[in-house]
Structure 1
Amino acid sequence: MEVLTDMNRPDLMLRLSESSSDVVEKVSEVTPTHVKLTEPIFSPRAVLMKLGVPVKIGCNVLIYQTNTAFLTLHVYLIPRDPGLQQVIKQRGVPHGYKAILKPDPEKSLKILDRFTLTADVDGAEICPEDLKLRYPSGKPNFFEVYTENPDGNVHLKLTSKKDLQPVWTCTVRKAAGSSVGAAAASSLLDGKHFVDKHRVQLIQRVSNVAPILDDLLGSDVISQESYNSIMALPTSQDKMRTLYSHLNTERCNDIFYKILLENEKHLIDEFSAK
């Protein structure tokens, strides 16, 4: 082990010798008794992986059911890294996302290869069409699987786009999304969506808008930019009125309704009783 310094740079570097190879790591702190690494990597294989060299690696597939009225799954394909798993967990759990535990791919997959995800449910929407397996420099990307009221289990299949061979399959049982149907059905009143029918009352009566915006952001109904602009408005009525301008699809209305059920249930019950 050797600590290196560069007169032109204030940060320190640490050289770790592994077999016949050298790995250089950025150091954030050095004391007489220890060295603290900013982003520790202890194998040449990990270095190559982060550099994007197409090596084969073990992978995790993580599935999160989002906090929406219809069944929406976020499916992550990532290198086997506890740090990445923690990032995804921290991103989803505050918004009420539910993890669905499934086995990982048995075989190693190649960095930079592209993969597609399919679901055996009529009308299922999956976006994007394919994903590149990579070590993310920012937040990890994912497949979004969206379907309205699946009749039974949902079978997912991950396929290599290069050789068209399946590399992973799983079944999401109907019980995992069993609470979805009732919420979706009750969101319609006399053929009109609940949030449309009670738009004026909701704008006037909903006062605690922040947690609703948090959930809408986490469900990808609004962007971070829209979130910031709405939060900057002076009154809750202004916030709600602007929020409504982003509910431009039936799916957005369903998500909004589900979030209202969790944050303003007393208003939902009051308006439903009329």
Structure 2
Amino acid sequence: MRTGAGGGTVRELSVDSRDDPTAAGSSCLPLVQHGHMDVPHDQISTRELTSASGFTSEETESDSSSAAGTKGAGGIICQQTLLTSTDSVAVASGETNWSQSPTACLRGQHKCNWCAREEDLPEEIKPEIIWDLDRNQETYRVHFSRAGWFCCPETELEFEVRAAVTIQYGYSSWREHLTETQKNQWMVAGPLFDIRVEPTEAVAAVHLPHFLCLRDADNSRMQIAHFIDEGMTLENPTRVRSFHAVLENPSFSPIGVFWRRENSDQRTQLHSIVLLYQAQRRVNLTLHLYLIPDDGSRVKAVKDYEKECQSWFVSKSHFTAKPLHFDSLYIVSSPSEITVTPKELPFLDKPAEAFQPFTEVHTTDVKKELELSLVGKKDGKPIWEAVIRPEDLAPSGSSIKMQIDTHFVDQHREQLIKRVTAVDSILDSLHGVVLDPEQYQSIRAERTNPDKMRKLYELVPSWNSGCKEKLYQALKDKHRHLVEQLEEK
């Protein structure tokens, strides 16, 4: 099977990550299926790296000068891949504001009052985030140096492995693979994943997440769909858990969970979640309220769209009080004075590639608590409730305006001159894009890194926002930890 990305050099490192969505900002753009990733990393010695990975010092010595990460536990490590197009470097992994799923923090919590809790939780892993060369598509990668049962909180994918293995995986597109006939026969019941494994035989089982509420359901309607060159093939899951379909000794291609449609399909019960985002804040408060299946690929699509809007993720209860079924209608209710547009919020079967509909909730009073609930249009019964407090919201509009008006590279000029060490790599990223050959050579001729950064900053006042953004992206690629520290100030 295929492994790696871009055929680049591979380094081993351990990683860590957390959930802390970024603050609100400027006006919203059309739906964009990608986001930016803020992922810092620290330096780690060859000895620490060797101890964490189980490799000999000879195997890692060649990369010792620049290996990065934080010390791993239990022999679980991830990989950093250096892509070799225009000397650009793939994004490393670690702590991040936007990489993690907004609902990843709820792993292990009870999702449904009718389904049994998946009590025996696997060991959680922290995957590396890998971007393609155009920064339009991200995948995840992890290397296991020992046998075990592991879960990725980003995607809810689980792997049972019997030996050391490298796994790279990401969301794929159902829309690109399904024919109209297949869409009429089968309902998508979870994300479609593109999984690549080396060696394949090291994976004993894969646990694919699904969003079906299976109480009183006929599990024989569930199938695992594979998409290969010859077309789609179907396979019975080895067993079905409350939130996962398990396939033992799997082969890997685009793979996901299907549910066979029947006449009563419109009543199929589905686990669903509510996502809240605070739109750009000035004086009043505007919230975007989404109601979608508990599907990681759709959660990510919402997150990426709202990131482009520079919205603020409002962390509240996510799971609805009961399972829902597609094409049902709900209304936002509140004792406070609010404006809701549109007034009805449908629960729809929209693929991750499509725009996910939301209801806009607007209020002029942001000093008090705001009580919100979603109630069924037909029966008036609540399916979700939350209280939004002032401390849940983004910083003040004036703070956000300052962040918008003053670019990061201008705000932190002094610290960047002092602390950036990978100047040559940053210049390589800007060469031919922002810097012409003469400027590039002139800056490279300076003797020290601070002198090079000062020389680079001589050009910054004449740059437009696009050029500054190129420098910002290069800084994030090479100095994620530093960028993250400065952004938190």
Which residue number in structure 2 is paired with residue 74 of structure 1? Answer: 288
Q: Find the partner of 1:170 among 371, 381, 386.
A: 386
Q: Deviations over 1:225-251 (max 9, x none)?
A: xxxxxxxxxxxxxxxxxxxxxxxxxxx
Q: 1:21, CA displacement in angstroms?
A: 4.3
Unaligned runs of 5+ in 1: 1-9, 185-206, 212-274
Q: 1:20, CA displacement in angstroms?
A: 4.5
Q: Deviations over 1:205-238 (max 9, x none)?
A: xx64999xxxxxxxxxxxxxxxxxxxxxxxxxxx
What amino acid is the match of 1:118? S
Query: Residue 11 and residue 84 in structure 1: after superposition, are their counterparts in 2 closer, same or farther (change >3 A)?
Result: closer
Which residue number in structure 2 is paired with residue 5 of structure 1? Answer: none
Between the aligned residues of both structures, percent identity stands at 20
Which residue number in structure 2 is paired with residue 240 of structure 1? Answer: none
Query: Residue 52 and residue 183 in structure 1: after superposition, are their counterparts in 2 closer, same or farther (change >3 A)?
Result: farther
Which structure 2 residues correspond to residues 18-29 of structure 1 after superposition, within 5 A? 20-21=220-221, 23=223, 25=225, 27-29=227-229
**SS at structure 1 position matched to 2:275:** strand
**SS at structure 1 position matched to 2:367:** coil
Q: 1:95, CA displacement in angstroms?
A: 3.2
Query: Residue 159 and residue 97 in structure 1: after superposition, are their counterparts in 2 closer, same or farther (change >3 A)?
Result: same
**SS at structure 2 position matched to 1:74:** strand
TM-score, normalization by structure 2: 0.31
Query: Residue 98 and residue 112 in structure 1: after superposition, are their counterparts in 2 closer, same or farther (change >3 A)?
Result: same
Query: Residue 60 and residue 171 in structure 1: after superposition, are their counterparts in 2 closer, same or farther (change >3 A)?
Result: same
What amino acid is the match of 1:156? L
Which residue number in structure 2 is paired with residue 254 of structure 1? Answer: none
Which structure 2 residues correspond to residues 1-274 of structure 1 after superposition, within 5 A? 20-21=220-221, 23=223, 25=225, 27-29=227-229, 34-37=251-254, 40-42=256-258, 44=259, 47-48=260-261, 53-69=266-282, 70-103=284-317, 104-122=319-337, 124-137=338-351, 138-177=354-393, 179-180=395-396, 208=465
Unaligned runs of 5+ in 2: 1-176, 183-217, 231-249, 401-463, 469-489
Whole-Å Cα distance in 1 between the matches of residues 178 and 276 of structure 2? 38
Q: 1:111, CA displacement in angstroms?
A: 2.1
Query: Residue 164 and residue 19 in structure 1: after superposition, are their counterparts in 2 closer, same or farther (change >3 A)?
Result: closer
Q: 1:117, CA displacement in angstroms?
A: 0.6
Which residue number in structure 1 is paired with residue 64 of structure 2? Answer: none
What amino acid is the match of 2:333? T
Whole-Å Cα distance in 2 between the matches of residues 128 and 52 of structure 1? 27
Contact between 1:149 and 1:181, CA under 8 Å: does it hold in 2? no
TM-score, normalization by structure 1: 0.52
**SS at structure 2 position matched to 1:84:** helix
Query: Residue 154 and residue 88 in structure 1: after superposition, are their counterparts in 2 closer, same or farther (change >3 A)?
Result: same
Contact between 1:112 and 1:133, CA under 8 Å: does it hold in 2? yes
Query: Residue 149 and residue 79 in structure 1: after superposition, are their counterparts in 2 closer, same or farther (change >3 A)?
Result: same
Whole-Å Cα distance in 2 between the matches of residues 80 and 67 of structure 1? 26
Q: 1:131, CA displacement in angstroms?
A: 1.6
Whole-Å Cα distance in 1 between the matches of residues 388 and 310 of structure 2? 18
Number of aligned positions between the proteins? 173
Which structure features the higher share of helix residues? 1
Query: Residue 91 and residue 171 in structure 1: after superposition, are their counterparts in 2 closer, same or farther (change >3 A)?
Result: same
What amino acid is the match of 1:166? P
Which residue number in structure 1 is paired with residue 60 of structure 2? Answer: none
Q: 1:53, CA displacement in angstroms?
A: 2.2
What amino acid is the match of 1:163? D
Q: Deviations over 1:23-60 (max 9, x none)?
A: 48461547xx94422x6224x2xx549x9623111110
Contact between 1:27 and 1:35, CA under 8 Å: does it hold in 2? no
**SS at structure 1 position matched to 2:343:** coil
Contact between 1:29 and 1:35, CA under 8 Å: does it hold in 2? no
Q: 1:94, CA displacement in angstroms?
A: 3.4
Q: Deviations over 1:36-90 (max 9, x none)?
A: 22x6224x2xx549x9623111110011111231311111001111111111111
